[in-house]
Amino acid sequence: MKETFVTTISCMDGRIQMPVNAYMRAKFDVDYVDTVTEAGPNKILAEAKNISLIESIKSRCELSIEKHDSKVIAMVGHYDCGGNEAERDEQIEHIKIACDLVKSWNSEIFVIGLWVNENWEVEELL
């Protein structure tokens, strides 16, 4: 049996890992979730100030695509983020901008935005 993967770009905050992984595994019927983590990655990608960090995130996504044949990348933001202290609406804008950037890396990959709310529930945005 072939193992199947999707990828998330998400915060390093451990509170969101289990709900996001469970959501992705169920929604896309996959075995595994490759997780690229940074503190506040939606802000990092949306602001596009730290080019070396953006390149690091991109190279880890490319590895997931090339080695694990991932076809989906989720850009994740969440409530009470230490790396992105913006309110929900601003973070959602960051997620949308970040999704556009990620889509520009590889047109064959399906990219979605996810928000993890104050109850640690996953909401699909895009």
| Residue 3: predicted pLDDT | 82
Q: What is the CATH number of the domain that holds 17?
A: 3.40.1050.10
**Average pLDDT value for the chain:** 96
Give the C-alpha separation, 46 to 31, whole Å. Answer: 29
Percent of the chain with pLDDT over 70: 98
Q: Over the stretch 12-56, which tens digit does the pLDDT of each residue have?
A: 999 999 999 999 999 999 999 999 999 999 999 999 999 999 999
Structural domain boundaries, residue 32: 5-124
Report pLDDT digits (tens) over 59-106: 999 999 999 999 999 999 999 999 999 999 999 999 999 999 999 999
Adjacent-strand bridge partners of 111? 73
The residue type at 25 = R
* CA 75 – CA 122 distance, rounded (Å): 12
Number of separate domains in the chain: 1
